[in-house]
Structure formats: structure tokens, C-alpha cells
Amino acid sequence: MEERDKKTELLVGLFLTIGLLLIALLVLQFGSVRELFKTSYEIVVPFPDGTGIRDGTPVRLGGSKVGKVPRQPVLDADFKGVLITLEIYDSVKIPKDAKFGIGTAGLLGDSFIEIRTTGSKEQTYIEPGTELPKENVVGATGLGALQDSAKDLGKQAEDVLAEIKLAVKDLRVSLDKINGKALGDDNMKELKESFAHLNSVLKRLDEKTLGEETSKDVKEAVASFKEAAKSMQLAAQKFDPIVTKLGNASGKIESAAGKADTVMGNADKAIKSIDEAAVSLGKVGTDLRKGEGLLPALIHDRSLKNEFSMLISNLRQKGILWYKDKAGEQQVKPSQTQPQQQPQPQKPEKRSGLFRR
């Protein structure tokens, strides 16, 4: 019996020993006992608000725990924030341009200190015992950021509501003034009278100015204008051949001027005169198109038309250079003609016209 009892006690003791060893390993693995054996250094970070930070709050860099808060936060000298001491493992180096913030793990999780690096290639790190400036501190992250945003939105909403109240108050004052003065009984009566007068004026305008008789007169005037425009167009078409002939005549004048340049020594003056004649002919053509000048008068003045016909006849017989008005001589009656004289000896022929030698 004694040997059996000793054997049982030995098995129980062995089982308890193994269980205690497993518990110790779990404590060392998942607990903070092993942190007691790690060396660390401290830095001080100023925060405007240290809500949720207490002794043992973890410090995380990229999601990994790199330290903890060894003691409770203390107020700064200006009482505008708190100073939080961070205990960082010696194996972790933090760049000087890193940013520190307070985050929240989950919806109901505990707060933690979050370190964000900028990713720069700067190789300088924070020295142990350094108190960082406020430029290294950023706002809360996670749910804390949402809470801060909600606070800001609430404050902005309060400001907007206050402005809306003032605007509504001013609007009420304006409406009271409008109802009391602008929309009073006297003003409304005058407004009705003005509309009635305007209605009567429009009615008269519709009956007299825009009546059937006026519309008929307007239609007749438009029809007359169309007929006049059509007549002017036909007259312009009749004048086009005349303008073409005058253009040909100006071409002949230019060629005659070229010949006169080789014969006479005063060619420059002749060319200048011909240029002026060409300009005048161009103006005549312009006047013809506009309905001004001599040719439009030919349509109504028969005597002027006959004289122009004589001019064209003489131009065809003698040309432009040796033109002489003999139409009157051709129209002299036979009774007025002188008796024939004896033939005289031939004399050198005298030339008449624009150019004489």
C-alpha cells in the first residue's frame, strides 16, 4: 500500500510541476514579465489632452509595441496640456521628424501612443531624455479623431445656428417694414390704379397703333418697297453693259497714253491725266451702281438721252482721240448750206483732239 501511495503522489507532483511550468511559459510569452528584462530609454512628449493615458499604456510604431508609459501624465507649466513620458526599448530608434499621437484600439478599446514616421532618409534619431517640441505632436487617430471631428462639427453647427437666428431676426424686421409701409393700403391702392392705367394704355395701343388699318398700310408699304427694290435691280442690270463699255474705253485710253509716251516728251502729264480720267470713270461706275449721276437721269430726260446718243455716234465715227462734235453740222437744213467753192490747193491737215502736234 505504501509503495502504491508513493507512486500516486509522484505522478501527481510531476503533473503539477508540468502544469506550473506551462503556466509560467504562458505568463512569460503573453504577459509583461519579459519586459522587465529589457533595457529602455525615456523621452517626454507634450500633448494638449491626455485622456485615456495611464501607467502602462503601450507605445506602438507601425502596429508593434515599442515601449510603454511608465507613469501618469503631468500638467505642463502653462496648464494648457500634459507632459507624457514614454519608455522606449533600446533596440528601437525613433527619427527626429517622427510624429506622436493618441489612438484608440477598437470601439471600446484602450488608448495607446502612436508613432508615425515620415519616411525620410534622415538618419538622426531622438536622443534619450529629450523633450520634444509641439511640432512633433499630431491630433488623435482612430476613434479619437472621429470624436475630435464630431466636436469641431458640433462647434461649427452652433456657430451656423447662431448666424441663422440673427438672419431670421433681420428677416422678420424687414418683413414687418414691408407689411407696414410698402404693402400698406394706400400703396396697394396706388399700385392697382397704376396697373389699370397701364392696361388702358396697352388696350389703346392695340386698337389704334396695331389695328387692321395700320397693318394693311404696313403691308402695302412693304410691297411698294419690294417693287422699288426690284426696279432698282433691273436698272442696275441695264447699266452693267454701259459700265463694261466705259471700262473698255478706259483701256483704250491707257493704250493711247502708252503710245503718246514714245511720241511726245510730255508723257508724264498725259499719263497723269489718263489716271485721273480712269479714277473719274471708276467713280462714274460707282455712281451708276448707287443710282446717282448722269445715266439715271437719262431714264427721265429725253433731250439728255438724245444728246448722249449723239455722243455715242460721234465716238463710234471719230474715236476718242480725234473726237469732234459734228452732229450739229449734220443736222443743218439744205437751205442753209453754202454754195460749193472752187477746189483749193491742199494744205497740210490740221489734227484736232486731245493731242495736237
Report yes or no on 242 lying in a domain: yes
Which range of 41-45, 206-210, 321-325 scores highest in mean pLDDT? It is 41-45
Asked if residue 131 is part of any domain, the answer here is: yes
Mean pLDDT of 203-230: 71
CB contact set of 354 (below 8 Å; sequence gap of 6+) = 320, 321
pLDDT digits (tens, 9 = 90+) for 64-97: 889 999 999 999 888 889 999 999 999 899 998 8
- The verdict on 136 and 39 lying in the same domain is yes
SS3 347: coil
**Model confidence at 181: pLDDT above 70:** no
| Domain stop point among 141, 173, 206 | 141
Tell me the torsion sign for CA atoms 214, 218, 219, 221: positive
Residue 350 lies in a domain: no
Is the pTM here over 0.85, yes or no? no
Residue 307 backbone class (left: φ over 0; alpha: ψ -120 to 50; beta: rest): alpha
Q: Domain total for the chain?
A: 2
Query: What is the residue range of 93's domain?
Result: 34-141
* Residue 259 pLDDT greater than 50, yes or no: yes
Domain contains 278: yes
Q: Are 50 and 73 in contact (CB under 8 A)?
A: yes
User: Would you state the pLDDT for residue 172?
Assistant: 83
Domain-located, residue 180: no
Structural domain contains residue 42: yes
**Does the residue 189 lie in any domain?**
no
For the chain, the average pLDDT equals: 74
What confidence score (pLDDT) does residue 74 get?
A: 92
Span 264-306, pLDDT tens digits: 555 566 567 777 767 776 666 566 555 555 556 665 567 767 7
How far is CA 140 from each of CA 79, 112, 249, rounded to the nearest angstrom? 20, 10, 100
Q: Can you tell me the mean pLDDT for 251-264?
A: 62
Q: How far apart are CA 246 and CA 254, in angstroms?
A: 12
- Of 141, 172, 199, the one marking the end of a domain is 141
> Where a domain ends, among 110, 141, 172?
141
| Spatial separation of the C-alpha atoms in residues 108 and 59, rounded to whole Å | 18
Q: Within a domain: residue 149?
A: no
How many residues comprise the chain? 357
Q: Can you say whether the dihedral through the CA atoms of 140, 145, 147, 149 is positive or negative?
A: positive
